[in-house]
Amino acid sequence: MAGKKWKVIALSCRKGYHTQAYQKELELRKKKGLIDPDVILLTVEDPDSRIGSGGATINTILVVAEHLSSLAGYTVVNPDVLNDADILIFLMGKSYVFDPCGRAFASIPAMFNGSHHITGSKTENIASNIDFLIHTLTNTICPNSPPGVWVCSTDMLLSFSTGKAIATVFPKDWKGVSLITVPASIEYATLHGACKVGHDGAVDNIFYQSSSDNLQSCLVNNHQVPLVSGLLFMCPDTATKLLHFHVKPPIDACTYMGIDSGSQPIKLSLFFDILLPMANCVSRENFVTGNRSGSYGTKGDNYNRLLPEDKALKEKVRSVLYDELHQIQIRSVLINEGSHSYMSMDIATDYQNQILNCPLNNEVNNISNFHWQRKIHCNSQSKCKIPSESVVINSKIDSIVDIGKKCIISHCVLQNNLKIGSGCILSGLLPEELEVDRVTTEPMVLPDESVLLNFIISIGDNVSRRITTVYGLHDNLMLPTYNEKSRFCNKPWSEFYKRTGIDNSDLWQQNLPQSARCLFNAKLYPIFNYSQKIETEDIFWLLGSHNSIEALEKWRLSWRLSLKDIMCMIDVAAVFDYRRKLYLEIGERNIERALWNGDDICFLPFFQSCAAEDYHNVLYTLDRVACETKSLAVASRCLASIADVLGTMAVSRGGLRSGPAANKSWKQAFRLLEELKVTDGITVMAEERKNWLKRPDLIVRAARHYEGAEQILIRKAVLTAKKFITTISQELPPINNIWVIASSGDLAGGWSDTPPITYEHGGVVVNAAVKMDGKRPIGAKARRISDPIIRLVLIGDKKPTIVTCADMSDLEDYNKPHAPGALLKAAFLCAEIISFNSPISLKQQLLEKYSSGFELHSWAHLPQGSGLGTSSILAGAIMACLFTVSGRKCDNSSIVHSVLYLEQMLTTGGGWQDQVGGLVKGVKISRSPAELPLKVNITELDVKQSFITELDKRLLLIYTGKTRLAKNLLQDVLRGWYAKLPEVLPNVHNLTSNAEESAKAFLDGQSLAGAGGGGFMYLITKQENFCEEVKAIVSKIKGTEDVVVYRGAVDREGLTISYKQHNCGDSC
């Protein structure tokens, strides 16, 4: 079933809490294809910091309805827009010390992959809690739900152990609220909320942090209770009811419209004030008086400090809420596959356990979009050993950093001589936060189970500063310091006071009650000193690294903040920007390392991220590697990668990636590459590229030229095959005809012969030379003629085409495959009969070397794109003719390598399997090692002649009528290879292994021949001599008018050269 198609996804966040930064994060996910491109994304700022989760929900529904009303053309808020809309609202909640971006955007150890909505290319993002929530709700929980409003907290990790949509039942015409619950133990529920469920799943009561005795009444099965998960669904009628509160005083004061109308803000809880009055067994009296409202009601010191008029206002608000909401039905939807893990920040061990043993990652809940790893987007030096028990997220780590077990390192750059103890948590640290202002060879030591967190805070208009905090893994941030279990840096406060000389008055105001004094609000952390710079040692002093009167005095004279202060000052936009910049820098480093090491890593998801971020610096990294490398393979991959980057930048708005690449603006760079002045060529290309980045169409054209440059380097690599072309001089033949006929078809291993795969991975191919209806349909013939010209005769099904080359300019289009006679022209240059770059004229070259001209005929009585390697086999026949007619003799191996050379000159590219198949007799296996110079080793298979005879009786070749040009296919294959696409690499590995297996068990079944997987199809019949019957069957099938059936037979001779007299026909 398809996932839920959301109309709106809205994020409610606290007032002044960087709404624009969160909106930008969501929009980036949308650009990356991680969120549906059609969804409306809204980040809604709470109108006041004191409206609570219930007020935030009502205000967000108002803003969503207002937005949809405007889009629908209404001039006022129209509740009807909620009737058919699927709306998802997330509540940001309070700050989170372990991630300054909040619990919603807290990083988890996974990479989130999606697909770009236009190109379909893979994209990636370091996963966060909200990514998992959106994906889970869209694909697992909500697909079956009717239109309405889903509201989801973000302060928990919510997991469902199923990889498919849950068949959540929504009764027909259901009106009310569905509260999603998950099973939990009573012990866990005492810290959270649970439902008492009555008949037909109706909620009778909701208990929050209740006693174990109370929760006994909630038991449903296996000694578990239905835990309030933080997720609920409300039908359009209920959402409309909440929407109307924006015009109903005093509840309107929780919406921006009420506050803009002059009302004082009120605080409402989603569960205590909105859902609780809907429960069947909650009486009006208990609700209105606040006895059931937890910290929002009569419990706690805050209530006792309220003025009488404020208490009266609260009761009035609850009275209205009860009267309006009690008749709404609320039911529990228990999802047994679900689990809930609250993201507490009281003790760091909770966070440590959620990251090291993330409850979202389990074998059953195997969501393919999330790839879980211990090292997520990490760049570490080879000598840096990261224990398998530790997790590193979006961090750069040098080799001189020693990391202990069970550590969590996120968004850090660690470069100094540092020894990190076991069980430590580090976040947001830069090298300057860990510098020691003294000369030492000893490493800086972070004790076991330390928590070192760096935050970016705003201290004024557009002014941000970094501040580092430290405490212990087992410290409880909220536990009063007088409690004997209270700790700082894992030791009793008394030890800390004694060691440092700090006392209570340094940390808390005197009027703050002892019961309220805790680590969270202790002003421990220096950020500024008027006379001295805050150093790393000033932070490590708190840990106990050293003791001195000077350290204490400096600390006391510094402006200090508590964790509570810091949480209120977080510059969320700056944190996101820092993480994004670090992510991009690490990506560049990883790409650079992969290029140098030749690693099979796909860069495309990262390139998509760069495009979404409008980050183009990766182009310069690729330029630099291409300039510095001495390897043609590395330089080629760099050029292909630059083309991919440009392709992602254009986002399919600039046309097709395939196209011409010979614009004069790039001519100088191409010339330098042809001369193997790679560094100069790359530099010139980079400079020219700047002129092509203004519009998508120009960007795509630039990408084509980078692929053209890549082809030049591939060509140069393949041209190393020239080393294995050996000829022996012989007497020039008289003026007569020499002709060659050859044919072939491949059986297994195709594409592994294709450059650059063949010399980067290594290629293996099994194939055979094949006759069709007893004939060789491909051939060529050549003769010397008295006129010092080159005459080319292209023989086809129609009248032959004659091309005469009397001048060097007539050969200029030898590298344009569609030009008449291009293959034949390139062959003359490849055979070195003519030197194209020589200042000597064509006529003089012919007369001086041969005292004659040449006439060359070629034919291929097979359709172009047939899949039988027509062009390569024809090229081999032509090269054999030209070598012989120009007074040279060579073996089949030289012909095979000369065709490789020729096809690079022609710019069609291509490998060696076709010429091997057609020119070398019988069945053979050919291999090319992963190295340069490129060499093909051919071994004839010792196939029993009785088997070949039986095969000939049953082998048919069926032309399907569908053709594809191999060059176009080749471009797609090369892009996939250089991009290291996950779907391409295993195929390449399998091709070579399958070919080896095919050599052992030769030819079983049928296969499509050729690069396109189309054109000709091999067919092995059970019965002998079944050709006519197959023709009859095919003729009765609609749409097979162009299909032709041929008898096949293994060619036992291969390439043959024979001399004929002048009166030989066009295609002897």
pLDDT tens digits along 157-188? 998 877 667 776 677 777 899 999 999 999 99
Look at residue 483 and tell me whether its pLDDT is greater than 70: yes
Give the range among 44-53, 359-368, 1009-1018, 1033-1042 with minimum mean pLDDT: 1009-1018
Q: What is the DSSP letter of 112?
A: E
- Taking a C-beta distance cutoff of 8 angstroms, is the pair 960, 1016 a contact? yes
Higher-confidence residue of 96 and 1059: namely: 96
Q: What is the mean pLDDT of residues 131-146?
A: 92
Helix (H, G, I), strand (E, B) or coil at 825: helix
Beta bridge partner(s), residue 414: 397
Q: What is the pLDDT of residue 1006?
A: 36
Q: Name the phi and psi angles at 35, rounded to 5.
A: -130, 140
Mean pLDDT score across all residues of the chain: 88
What is the pLDDT, as a whole number, of residue 133?
95
The larger pLDDT score, comparing residue 44 to residue 538, is at 44
pLDDT of residue 935: 95
Distance between first and last Cα of the chain: 62
Q: Report, in angstroms and rounded to the nearest whole number, the Rg of the chain calculated over CA atoms.
A: 38
Give the confidence band of 364 by pLDDT, cuts at 50, 70, 90: very low
Residue 1009 confidence (pLDDT): 46
**How many Å apart are CA 678 and CA 623, to the nearest integer?**
11
* pLDDT value at 64 more than 90: yes
Could you identify the residue written with the tokens 């209740």? 210
pLDDT at 115 over 80: no
Q: Residue 571: is its pLDDT beyond 90?
A: yes
For residue 1017, what pLDDT is reported? Answer: 74
Task: Give pLDDT tens digits for 621-661.
Answer: 999 999 999 999 999 999 999 999 999 999 878 888 888 89
The whole-number pLDDT of residue 289 equals 87
Q: What average pLDDT score do residues 415-419 get?
A: 85
Cis peptide before 250 (omega within 30 of 0): yes
The tens digit of pLDDT for each residue in 399-409 reads 789 999 999 99
Task: Please give the backbone phi and psi of residue 362, each rounded to the nearest 5 degrees, phi first.
Answer: -140, 160
pLDDT in tens, 783-827: 999 999 999 999 987 789 999 999 999 999 998 888 999 999 999
Give the pairing of strands 370-372 and 107-115: antiparallel
pLDDT tens figures, 999-1008: 776 644 334 3
Q: What average pLDDT does the segment 258-269 reach? A: 92
Compute CA distances 1028 → 500, 958, 1025, 1035, whole Å: 100, 12, 8, 11
The whole-number pLDDT of residue 595 equals 96
Model pLDDT, residue 441: 65
- For residue 957, what pLDDT band results from cuts at 50, 70 and 90? confident
* Dihedral in degrees, nearest 10, Cα atoms 756, 758, 759, 760: 70
Phi, psi angles (nearest 5°) of residue 742: -155, 155
Confidence check: pLDDT of 200 > 50: yes
**pLDDT value at residue 747:** 47
Task: Say if residue 256's pLDDT is above 90.
Answer: yes
Question: Which of 483 and 1058 is assigned the larger pLDDT?
Answer: 483
* CA angle in degrees (0–180, nearest 5) for 872-892-912: 35
Run of H or E including 302: helix 301-304
Q: Which residue has the higher pLDDT, 804 or 1018?
A: 804
pLDDT recorded at residue 293: 66
Q: What is the mean pLDDT of residues 382-407?
A: 90
1011/305 Cα distance (integer angstroms): 82
Return the structure tokens found at 452. Answer: 């070192």
Q: What share of the chain has pLDDT > 70, as a percent?
A: 90
